Amino acid sequence: MILKDKVVIITGAGPGMGQAVCRGAAAEGARVVISARSVDAINTLRDEIVAAGGQAIAVPCDVAETDQCQALAQAAIDQWGRIDGLVNSAYYHPDWGPLDAHAIEQVLQAMNVNAVGALRMAQAVIPTMKAQKAGAIVNVSTLATRKPMPGEGGYAMAKAALNQMTCQLAVELGGTGIRVNTALMGWMMGAPLHGFIAGLGEGGPAFQAQRASEIPVGHIPPDKDCAKAVYFLLSDYASEVTGAALDVNGGDWVAP
């Protein structure tokens, strides 16, 4: 249990990666603060984790609102007295389409949630982590910032800003005991992708098989397994790792 007794805040705990991280972190011994805008979804996930023997609380939060981010951090302190980890998993994805046709309002919203929202959360937890002289922030990013994919321009722009935030904070927080890293996720098999494939109708299975054949590991990585990279970056096993960008994509993009 590499996260035993660590208090970890996870934003964006909706279907897919966010929920996978919450479940897995709890299984690794973390005391999990589950957060998303949907009260019903986070309460259901909390109940599931507690029923399985884990420790979790559910706190609704829109990361586009500074006061809600501050309240989320305070809820963790009120419950468990500290904050050991923050996983910035909340995201907004503009409508799919070419970047030159993206609605600017949607691009701005992506920036506000994916990048600025993560900064709001970082600002909310950093004072506590500084006082503890320890803490880990993991920013969940995307392969699309490495390997541009048509239709994802606005989303990728915002996540690229998140990547830079990692680098900036890692340097600026040097000597405080706080580490900041990025996990860049590629195609992941989970609820969102299942929904996308189902939407393709009869062509869905063929699309899935082709996509799997193009990934060196031979399959589309399950989100629950990709989440393990996040636990590593949160854990003491990564005590000497900060400012890093870890690619988690089954070899779909290979770093130079």
Query: So which residues are the catalytic ones?
Result: 155
Q: Hey, how many other C-beta atoms are within 10 angstroms of the C-beta on 223?
A: 23
Q: What is the DSSP letter of 30?
A: -
What amino acid occupies position 162? Answer: L
User: What angle in degrees, to the nearest 10, is found between the helix axes of 17-27 and 223-234?
Assistant: 60
- E strands, the chain, are 7-10, 31-34, 55-58, 85-88, 135-142, 178-185, 245-248
What amino acid occupies position 143? Answer: L
Query: CA triplet 249, 246, 130: central angle to 5 degrees?
Result: 145
